[in-house]
């Protein structure tokens, strides 16, 4: 069984009063507080244009806030240069996008191995780990297929394998089932649940209330503000393999 080895901090993400204004004056996020603890599986849900993708970009350090603070695994993002931020991102965060973002003409195995490009591992080791990750997502028999030889659901599973092959602290998925039929979408959500049960911390962005409702925590966003955060409830604790079960279970009702 794989372990998520490089986790140090209990709090993986901490946003304090984050605001994001785009040039032209759109305030896409307004005073967002969000904390994600190690081992959580949460949905960020809200209507189109509410700021979900903007939030994902900021949590994923692909973009910086206009105001407020962002800490990833205890690192204050504002204190890091772009270069160091890229390194932090490569080490700690995996991304899954709605439209897969696979490299065409390259096999599933090499697409997944690309997720380890900045790991310092040899090419042979990267490909070996890619093969293991593909087996993990049920595609051990599609290793040498190129994206156009895979179904949509299979492509998304390759993208998930690429995102988790480096065992990131945090997996961010933006509408991972948005381009899939319902059966493939369910398979992808089952896979995310399994990865979470194995220790991965996962935030799933969705506008689908049903998908959001099936996850242990929902953060509801509207017009750039968090309007509801159900936070992990104690009865969800058995779905979250934290080593220190019991003890200081935190249950802030943030609103
Ligand atoms: N690069 C940009 N420049 C200016 N405005 C932007 C930019 N990106 C997003 N916006 C605006 O910010 C707001 C939030 O956009 P965002 O993409 O975060 O929404 P979303 O919740 O992900 O929506 P959807 O469900 O449609 O993907 C929208 O009003 C959008 O028009
Ligand atoms: Mg979006």
Residue nearest to atom 3 of ligand 1 (CA): 22
Q: Is the pLDDT of residue 21 over 70?
A: yes
The tally of domains found in the chain comes to 1
| CA–CA dist 129, 134 (Å, integer) | 9
Residue nearest to atom 16 of ligand 1 (CA): 51
Question: 229 near 220, Cβ under 8 Å?
Answer: yes
Does residue 149 belong to any structural domain of this protein?
Answer: yes
Give residue 114's domain range.
11-234
Residue nearest to atom 1 of ligand 1 (CA): 22
Does residue 17 belong to any structural domain of this protein?
Answer: yes
On average, the pLDDT of the chain sits at 87
Does residue 118 belong to any structural domain of this protein?
Answer: yes
Residues near 118 by Cβ (< 8 Å), separated by ≥ 6?
87, 90, 91
**Residue 64, domain CATH:** 3.40.50.300
Does residue 248 belong to any structural domain of this protein?
Answer: no
Does residue 181 belong to any structural domain of this protein?
Answer: yes
Does residue 241 belong to any structural domain of this protein?
Answer: no
Q: Which residues of 131-170 are buried (b: 16+ CB within 10 A; e: fewer)?
A: bebbebbebeebbebbbeebeebbbbbbbbbbbbbbbbbb
Does residue 61 belong to any structural domain of this protein?
Answer: yes
Does residue 35 belong to any structural domain of this protein?
Answer: yes
Long-range pairs of 85-88 with CB within 8 A, sequence gap ≥ 24: 85/61, 87/118, 88/61
Residue among 49, 220, 221, 227 whose CB has most ligand 1 atoms within 8 A, to mutate: 49
Cα end-to-end distance, the chain, whole Å? 38
pLDDT of 223-242, one tens digit each?
A: 999 999 998 444 444 444 44
Q: Is the pLDDT of residue 14 over 50?
A: yes
pLDDT of 42-76, one tens digit each?
A: 999 999 999 999 999 999 999 999 999 999 988 99
Cβ-based neighbour number of residue 210 at 10 Å: 9
Pocket of ligand 1 (CB under 6 A): 22, 24, 26, 28, 46, 48-54, 207
Q: Is the pLDDT of residue 25 over 60?
A: yes
């Amino acid at each position: 069984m794989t372990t998520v080895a490089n986790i140090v901090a209990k709090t993986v993400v901490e946003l304090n009063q984050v605001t994001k204004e785009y040039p032209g004056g759109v305030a896409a996020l307004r005073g967002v507080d969000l904390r994600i603890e190690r081992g959580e599986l949460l949905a960020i849900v809200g209507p189109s244009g509410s700021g979900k993708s903007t939030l994902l970009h900021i949590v994923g350090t692909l973009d910086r806030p206009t105001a407020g603070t962002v800490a990833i695994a205890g690192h204050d993002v504002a204190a890091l240069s772009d270069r160091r931020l890229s390194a932090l991102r490569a080490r700690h965060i995996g991304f899954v996008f709605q439209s897969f973002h696979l490299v065409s003409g390259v096999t599933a195995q090499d697409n997944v191995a690309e997720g380890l490009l900045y790991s310092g591992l040899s090419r042979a080791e990267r490909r070996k780990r890619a093969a293991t990750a593909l087996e993990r997502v049920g595609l051990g028999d599609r290793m040498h297929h190129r994206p156009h030889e895979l179904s949509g659901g299979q492509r998304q599973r390759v993208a998930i394998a690429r995102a988790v092959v480096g065992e990131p602290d945090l997996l961010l998925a933006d509408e991972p089932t948005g381009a899939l039929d319902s059966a493939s979408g369910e398979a992808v959500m089952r896979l995310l649940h399994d990865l979470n049960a194995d220790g991965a911390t996962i935030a799933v962005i969705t506008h689908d209330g049903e998908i959001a409702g099936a996850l242990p925590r929902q953060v509801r966003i509207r017009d750039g503000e968090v309007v509801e955060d159900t936070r992990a409830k104690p009865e969800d604790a058995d779905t979250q393999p934290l080593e220190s079960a019991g003890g200081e279970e935190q249950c802030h009702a943030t609103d």
